[in-house]
């Protein structure tokens, strides 16, 4: 996946209308180098096409991609090689690394959650807790790590949460208002107790979000719903408790940390000695 507009803005931000003072001072304008993008840590790769596009944006074209998005990578693996103007390589370096490190970090963390619930029917799902302007890329990285995307935007589906319920005057009222306004839109509704669950179940929502429930409560909710609709557990779930939630029978666990708390995967650029 590529966002060329974001790349243009990132490079422009790095230059701020000027030029790279260090490279212009130390490197001749006709210098040519070969550089390797190399993994420093193990992980899952995402964003290599953003690296390629960033290099192309500064005029580089001799690019060889050696690993693809979704690949499990090891420290020392060369992910991509580029040959061309040395100043251009160094201009693109930090922007390219910012993209691929961030996105690979998300893919790597997602893969850890997916591994944690292996052997269950549950799926790991992201949220809208994304970096402004990066949603498409970050949700793409979740998919590269084996996760599943929740809605991409507010217009994809309705998600009735506690504030909507409070504003509408209750669970049933909120649901009815959404169904009347948007008869065919998917509707997910958040509940935080069994009374709300029983109230909303006859309305036939597409999905019910179990907010901040324990694994034991989620298991009871699964029994109450009895496959009438899909269930998603959210809130208070850690990597160490993921399997316990998944084994309750819920269809999804929603994890905001996939996009808002993933550590950057350490990837570097090295110029080859000529």
CATH number where 82 lies: 3.90.1170.20
Q: Are residues 204 and 228 in the same domain?
A: yes
pLDDT tens track for 217-227: 999 999 999 99
> Which two structure tokens, joined as six digits, stand for 18?
């000027």
pLDDT-based confidence at residue 171 (cuts at 50, 70, 90): confident
pLDDT-based confidence at residue 252 (cuts at 50, 70, 90): very high
211 counts as catalytic: yes
Distance CA 58, CA 223 (A): 58
Q: How many domains would you assign to the chain?
A: 2
User: What pLDDT is stored for residue 254 in this prediction?
Assistant: 98
pLDDT tens track for 78-128: 999 999 999 999 999 999 999 999 999 999 999 999 999 999 999 999 999
Compute the half-sphere exposure of residue 223: CA atoms within 13 Å on the CB side of its CA: 7
Distance CA 32, CA 28 (A): 9
CB 80 within 8 A of CB 51: yes
Q: What is the 3-state secondary structure (H, E, C) of 3-62?
A: CHHHHHHHHHHHHCCCCCHHHHHHCCCCCEEEEEEEECCCEECCCHHHHHHHHHHCCCCE
Q: Are residues 105 and 149 in the same domain?
A: no
- Active-site option among 67, 83, 123, 161: 161
Q: Are residues 172 and 106 in the same domain?
A: no
* CA-to-CA separations, 152 to 48, 55, 70, 134, 181, in angstroms, rounded: 22, 28, 20, 11, 20
- Active-site option among 129, 151, 230, 243: 129
Record the pTM: 0.95
Q: Which residue range forms the structural domain that includes residue 102?
A: 4-114+263-271
Q: Are residues 128 and 48 in the same domain?
A: no
Q: Are residues 98 and 140 in the same domain?
A: no
Q: Is the pLDDT of residue 172 over 70?
A: yes
Mean pLDDT of 229-258: 97
Q: Is the pLDDT of residue 270 over 70?
A: yes
Q: Is the pLDDT of residue 232 over 90?
A: yes
Element (H, E) at 82: strand 78-85
161 counts as catalytic: yes
Q: Are residues 105 and 209 in the same domain?
A: no
Q: Are residues 245 and 122 in the same domain?
A: yes
125 counts as catalytic: no
Identify any residues that bridge with 72 across adjacent strands, giving them in sequence order: 44
Mean pLDDT of 189-215: 95
87 counts as catalytic: no
User: What pLDDT is stored for residue 274 in this prediction?
Assistant: 65
pLDDT-based confidence at residue 263 (cuts at 50, 70, 90): very high
- Active-site option among 49, 190, 232, 251: 190
**Of how many residues is the chain composed?**
274
Q: Are residues 129 and 242 in the same domain?
A: yes
Q: Are residues 95 and 122 in the same domain?
A: no
Mean pLDDT of the chain: 96
Q: Are residues 123 and 107 in the same domain?
A: no
- Active-site option among 77, 211, 232, 251: 211
240 counts as catalytic: no
Q: Are residues 108 and 23 in the same domain?
A: yes
Q: Are residues 110 and 191 in the same domain?
A: no
């Amino acid at each position: 996946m590529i966002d060329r507009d974001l790349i243009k803005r990132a490079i422009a931000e790095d230059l701020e209308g000027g030029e790279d003072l260090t490279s212009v001072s130390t490197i001749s304008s006709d210098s040519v180098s070969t550089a390797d993008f190399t993994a420093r840590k193990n992980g899952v790769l995402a964003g290599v096409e953003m690296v390629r596009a960033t290099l192309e944006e500064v005029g580089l074209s001799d690019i060889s991609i050696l690993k693809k998005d979704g690949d499990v990578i090891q420290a020392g693996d060369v992910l991509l090689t580029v040959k061309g103007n040395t100043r251009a390589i160094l201009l693109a370096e930090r922007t390219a690394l910012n993209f691929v490190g961030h996105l690979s970090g998300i893919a790597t963390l997602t893969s850890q959650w997916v591994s944690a619930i292996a052997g269950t029917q549950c799926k790991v799902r992201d949220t809208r807790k994304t970096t402004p302007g990066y949603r498409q890329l970050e949700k793409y990285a979740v998919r590269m790590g084996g996760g599943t995307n929740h809605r991409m935007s507010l217009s994809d589906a309705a998600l009735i949460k506690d504030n909507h319920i409070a504003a509408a005057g209750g669970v049933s009222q909120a649901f009815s208002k959404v169904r009347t306004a948007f008869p065919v839109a998917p509707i997910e509704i958040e509940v935080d107790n069994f009374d709300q669950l029983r109230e909303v179940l006859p309305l036939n929502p597409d999905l019910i979000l179990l907010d901040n429930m324990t694994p034991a409560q989620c298991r009871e909710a699964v029994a109450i719903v009895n496959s009438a609709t899909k269930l998603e557990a959210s809130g208070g779930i850690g990597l160490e408790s993921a399997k316990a939630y998944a084994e309750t029978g819920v269809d999804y666990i929603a994890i905001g940390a996939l996009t808002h708390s993933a550590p950057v995967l350490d990837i570097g650029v090295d110029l080859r000695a000529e």
